[in-house]
């Protein structure tokens, strides 16, 4: 059994939702988890793709803020991230900027700013 991560896009009456799912049972297991947890039919899943953790992490980190902004802007213009904030986070431990498309890292790192539909918004200072 291997742990695999999937990104799924669901279409609801209220709009589109993107989920990240971890499965030990492959793609079909991830689909089953989504339909059970969300209470939706399988046909509501518009797209589901496997995310390679190592590739994803390398694609989403940068040494400089300029490089991070460029990566975030590019991601924000992708169809799957339309109307979603793409966060730029700085990690003091690794000295890298990370581009977060899951909105999870925001909870435990310093937020620099984010791109939404190609428009950059700097995070307001806490001071």
Question: Looking at residue 66, what is its pLDDT?
Answer: 92
**Token output for 111:** 């937020």
Q: What is the DSSP string of 91-126?
A: ETTTTEEEEESSS-GGGTSEEEEEEETTEEEEPPP-
The burial class, CB within 10 Å (0-12 / 13-18 / 19+), for 60 is: buried
45-73 pLDDT per residue, tens: 888 888 775 545 556 889 999 999 998 88
87-127 pLDDT per residue, tens: 888 888 888 888 877 666 545 556 677 788 888 888 775 54
Question: Looking at residue 115, what is its pLDDT?
Answer: 81
The burial class, CB within 10 Å (0-12 / 13-18 / 19+), for 121 is: exposed
Work out the average pLDDT over 75-86: 83
**First CA to last CA distance, the chain:** 48
20-48 pLDDT per residue, tens: 888 888 889 889 988 888 888 888 888 88
For residue 5, pLDDT over 80 is answered with yes
Sign of CA dihedral 42, 48, 52, 58: negative
Which part of the chain has CATH 3.10.20? 4-51
Helix, strand, or coil here: 1? coil
Work out the average pLDDT over 81-85: 80
Q: Which fold has domain 4-51?
A: Ubiquitin-like (UB roll) (3.10.20)
């Amino acid at each position: 059994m291997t742990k695999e991560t999937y990104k799924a896009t669901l279409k609801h009456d209220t709009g589109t939702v993107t989920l990240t799912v971890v499965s030990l049972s492959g793609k079909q297991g991830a689909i089953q988890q989504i339909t059970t947890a969300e209470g939706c039919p399988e046909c509501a899943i518009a797209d589901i793709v496997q995310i390679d953790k190592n590739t994803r992490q390398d694609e989403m980190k940068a040494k400089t803020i300029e490089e991070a902004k460029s990566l975030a802007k590019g991601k924000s213009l992708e169809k799957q991230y339309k109307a979603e904030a793409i966060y730029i986070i700085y990690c003091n431990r690794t000295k890298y900027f990370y581009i977060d498309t899951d909105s999870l890292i925001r909870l435990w790192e310093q937020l620099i700013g984010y791109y939404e539909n190609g428009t950059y918004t700097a995070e307001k200072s806490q001071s």
